[in-house]
Amino acid sequence: MKCIAAKRRDNRLLSTPCQLLHYSDPDRLGLRVRHTVAARAAAQNWVRRHAAVGVSNPIAAAEIANRASLIAWELMDNAHQHSYSGAPDQTLTLMLERSRYLLSITVTDAGPTPGCKKLSFPEQKSHGGGLGWVASLSFYWDWDGCAGLPVTVKARIELP
């Protein structure tokens, strides 16, 4: 499944699962992902294809691609469950950013659901799951955001 969106005149996504985002920095890649399992699966496959670009050791490349795709799935799933990105026709932004020794997987959600009175920020629960998986698969993870605004969660993987 390709991650390129057909658009209407008002630039809203149609039935395609995700839309490629373009950045001037060649080490930064991004997608806008709709709230569907098919969209998350397409985005996860996209991460698997792009995460280990430039890693010459095939075993290390496979490990990085696998870990990055699992992290991306968990971060997208959390955003779809706990933010307005989970509403019909809403999206989140998934980004891969490569530096010399790190790969960052970043997901930015659409903020809290309208009328939400509970302030919810990403936290790793003691029983694991979600961000527990992210913590075990990544070198480091953190988040950035303010009450009532979109939240960005970033996980980093070390590169060889």
The DSSP string of the chain is ------B-TT--B-SSSEEEE--SSTTEEEEEEESSHHHHHHHHHHHHHHTTTT---HHHHHHHHHHHHHHHHHHHHHHHHHSGGGSTT-EEEEEEEE-SSEEEEEEE---SPTT--S-------TT-SHHHHHHHHSSEEEEEE-TTS-EEEEEEEE--
The average pLDDT across 53-82 equals 94
Tell me the pTM.
0.84
The average pLDDT across 87-106 equals 94
Q: How confident is the model at residue 2, as a pLDDT?
A: 44
User: What domains are defined for the chain?
Assistant: 18-158 (3.30.565.10)
Q: How confident is the model at residue 13, as a pLDDT?
A: 43
As a whole number, the mean pLDDT across the chain is 84
Query: Is the predicted pLDDT of residue 137 greater than 60, yes or no?
Result: yes
Q: How confident is the model at residue 147, as a pLDDT?
A: 74
The average pLDDT across 96-123 equals 81
Query: Is the predicted pLDDT of residue 61 greater than 60, yes or no?
Result: yes
Q: How confident is the model at residue 118, as a pLDDT?
A: 57
Q: How confident is the model at residue 124, as a pLDDT?
A: 53
Rounded Cα–Cα distance for residues 99 and 113 (Å): 34
User: Which of 39-53, 110-124, 140-154: highest mean pLDDT?
Assistant: 39-53
